[in-house]
Chains A and B, each alone.
Chain A
Amino acid sequence: MNLDPSEPVLTVSALSLVRAGREVLHDISLNLHAGQVQVLIGPNGSGKSSLVMAACGLLPPSSGAVMVGGIAITRLAPRARARLVAYVPQRSELGSGLRVGQVVAMGRFAHDGAWGRDASHHAAIREALLQVDALELASRPFTELSGGEMQRVLIARALATSASILILDEPSSALDVAHRLGILRLLRRLAEAGKAILVALHDLNEATQLADAVVLLQGGRILAQGSPQAVISPVHVRSAYGVTLVPGGGYGYTLDGS
């Protein structure tokens, strides 16, 4: 599929989503461009993870659509979808003693034939591991890695799909400061290399450092979207989180009224 660089590579149009009888997303629209990092922020339960999964085509919308290259993502076959959009979960359910190389090789599933591996199989895995500085981890058991290493490997698996769109669900939430910064740098580097990145984050400082554009969700609706400076404003943050931003360097915040 040829993607026009001037056109968004992923479009979410008037998306609504009902889960277990409750509307968790309402009338969400956004455009994601190649080379752009767009960050989803919002309090717990605001719909970030639901939007991430709907954008990946893992949850069918109740109304509206997610379009990739002009095609509704729900109309794509699973393998075709996986070659266009890669998903990085917050935590993997992998626990079966697989080695890192085998985990990253899963990213090539959508390219492999029924009988044999794709010709570029091994090169793609090596390249993906190199991009996240994890080549030395290839033979280690995945479950024995630290949280930061696991996250890098999951990003490598997503890169191995060769998808041009990466969608990540709170990749830094369980990591210490050093590993969080490492993941943010990696995402920025991948965007500069041309990937379109949609990432859900909790930390407003991280969102400010990383984002080209920010979408602030509250109660399944978009409260604000645009540049980080416009969206992460005292008014919006107070409205969404009920806290007051404290001026001075980063986005420090205190509990409302304290």
Chain B
Amino acid sequence: MRLMLGISLLLAVAAAASLLTGPVGWSDLDHQLLALRLIRLLAGILAGAALAVAGVLMQGLFRNPLASPSVTGVSAGAALGVELALMGSVLLPGLVTIVPAACLRPAAGFAGAALALGCLLAVARRRGDITSVVLLGMVLSMLFSALGAYLLSLANDRWELGRILVTFTLGGIDTATGRSVAVATPLVAVALGASWCWGRTLDVALSGEREAASLGVDTVAMMRWALVWTAVLAAAAVTLGGGIGFVGLIVPNVLRAYLGPGHRSLIVASALGGAAFLTAADVCARVLHPGPGEIPLGAITSLVGAPFFIWFFTRERAAGRL
């Protein structure tokens, strides 16, 4: 309980800093600017919570603290969908008359994630084992990433399109719109609630597929629904913030060391912790850049996350806690 209060306090401080940080001071902030900063704050909270809880689900399902939504190919699928939408909106201006521009990005992100998810569920239905799902997820992830790189190479001769795609790939919530936040909010809320409901099942699944099945777990249903909610969370996060790494690895692993392996409390704490971490990272992206502009958010999370994760993992491994 004390830990939850501490994380909530961190989130409140990060949120206040996010609203106060920018070239225009608080006293000169008009309603329009305040609304923009609020959208950015909400995007950070939603993307951070979604990524962290997606990490909890993947680590629980695969019983591996190094698992993350990226191993399922769902994040890469969502990213490819958004990249296609960004290209389409520039190269085919008529497209935005069919699908409103504000809806195109989230719709394409969720469609890309759904494509990856469809492949995973088809394999889960035919094979029913986690190893096959992991292998397919890794293949999908590499395939979608390769297609994304190909799209980026096609955009080389169009400076504006190339800039948009690179910005998205590097990750950042500064491009999130009110519409994308409005689309993502109910999806993230439902997925967080559903993830919490699967928490006890994931606790029992810590004993392995066979033992869990003997204790009453419908392991196929668990795998399907954990993949579905991971896909929803990852797609929402990618749609809001592009390529942001390490949140789903760092936040759950740090909190698990204090809370233990029980998934329900870990999901609540990770949602709060992920939101606080990404909001704070977004403030750093704005504050630490030497001139005008921002450091890409994905670069901040990776620069902080990679060495921290190596240190943390080594320490926990030595202590026998991981």
Q: Which residues of A contact B (CB under 8 A)?
A: 53, 56, 58, 77-79, 81-83, 85-87, 89, 92-94, 96-98, 102-103, 106-107, 109-110, 112, 114, 157, 161
Alpha-carbon distance A114/B201, docked complex (angstroms) = 10
Q: Which residues of A contact B203 (CB under 8 A)?
A: 102, 106
Alpha-carbon distance A93/B197, docked complex (angstroms) = 24
In the complex, the answer to whether B214 meets A86 with C-beta atoms within 8 Å is yes
In the assembled complex, the CB of A70 is this many whole angstroms from the nearest CB of chain B, namely 20
Alpha-carbon distance A109/B218, docked complex (angstroms) = 11
Evaluate whether A78 and B218 lie within 8 angstroms (CB atoms) in the complex, with A97-B260, A102-B262, A114-B197 already known.
Answer: yes
Which of these, A81, A97, A109, A114, contacts B261 with CB under 8 Å? A97
- Does B63 interact with chain A (Cβ within 8 Å)? yes
Name the residue of chain B whose CB is nearest to the CB of A87.
B214
6 smallest beta-carbon distances between A and B, as pairs: A82-B216, A110-B216, A93-B208, A87-B214, A79-B216, A78-B218
Evaluate whether A161 and B210 lie within 8 angstroms (CB atoms) in the complex, with A96-B63, A96-B261, A97-B321 already known.
Answer: no
Which of these, A77, A81, A92, contacts B211 with CB under 8 Å? A92
Q: Which residues of B contact A81 (CB under 8 A)?
A: 216
Alpha-carbon distance A96/B208, docked complex (angstroms) = 11
Alpha-carbon distance A79/B211, docked complex (angstroms) = 13
In the complex, which residues 133-166 of chain B have their Cβ closer than 8 Å to any Cβ of chain A?
A: none
Alpha-carbon distance A102/B217, docked complex (angstroms) = 16
Evaluate whether A93 and B207 lie within 8 angstroms (CB atoms) in the complex, with A78-B217, A79-B216 already known.
Answer: yes
Alpha-carbon distance A97/B260, docked complex (angstroms) = 8
In the complex, which residues 204-245 of chain B have their Cβ closer than 8 Å to any Cβ of chain A?
A: 204, 206-208, 210-211, 213-218
Q: Which residues of A contact B211 (CB under 8 A)?
A: 87, 89, 92-94
**A to B CB contacts below 8 Å, 30 in the list:** A53-B210, A58-B210, A58-B213, A58-B214, A77-B218, A78-B213, A78-B216, A78-B217, A78-B218, A82-B214, A82-B215, A82-B216, A83-B216, A85-B214, A86-B214, A87-B211, A87-B214, A92-B211, A93-B63, A93-B210, A96-B63, A96-B261, A106-B204, A106-B215, A109-B204, A109-B216, A110-B215, A110-B216, A112-B200, A161-B216
Q: Which residues of B contact A107 (CB under 8 A)?
A: 215
Name the residue of chain B whose CB is nearest to the CB of A117.
B200
Q: Which residues of B contact A97 (CB under 8 A)?
A: 260-261, 321
In the complex, the answer to whether B207 meets A92 with C-beta atoms within 8 Å is yes
In the complex, which residues 238-261 of chain B have their Cβ closer than 8 Å to any Cβ of chain A?
A: 260-261
Which of these, B197, B206, B210, B213, contacts A98 with CB under 8 Å? B206
- Given A85-B214, A96-B206, 12 further pairs, Cβ under 8 A: A53-B210, A78-B217, A87-B214, A89-B211, A92-B207, A93-B210, A97-B261, A109-B204, A109-B216, A110-B215, A157-B215, A161-B215
In the complex, the answer to whether B321 meets A109 with C-beta atoms within 8 Å is no
Q: Which residues of A contact B260 (CB under 8 A)?
A: 97-98
Which of these, A53, A56, A92, contacts B208 with CB under 8 Å? A92
In the assembled complex, the CB of B80 is this many whole angstroms from the nearest CB of chain A, namely 34
Alpha-carbon distance A97/B262, docked complex (angstroms) = 10
Alpha-carbon distance A94/B207, docked complex (angstroms) = 5
Could you say which of A94, A102, A107, A109 has the most chain B C-beta atoms within 10 Å of its C-beta? Answer: A109
In the complex, which residues 280-307 of chain B have their Cβ closer than 8 Å to any Cβ of chain A?
A: none
Name the residue of chain A whose CB is nearest to the CB of B322.
A97
Q: Which residues of A contact B261 (CB under 8 A)?
A: 96-98, 102
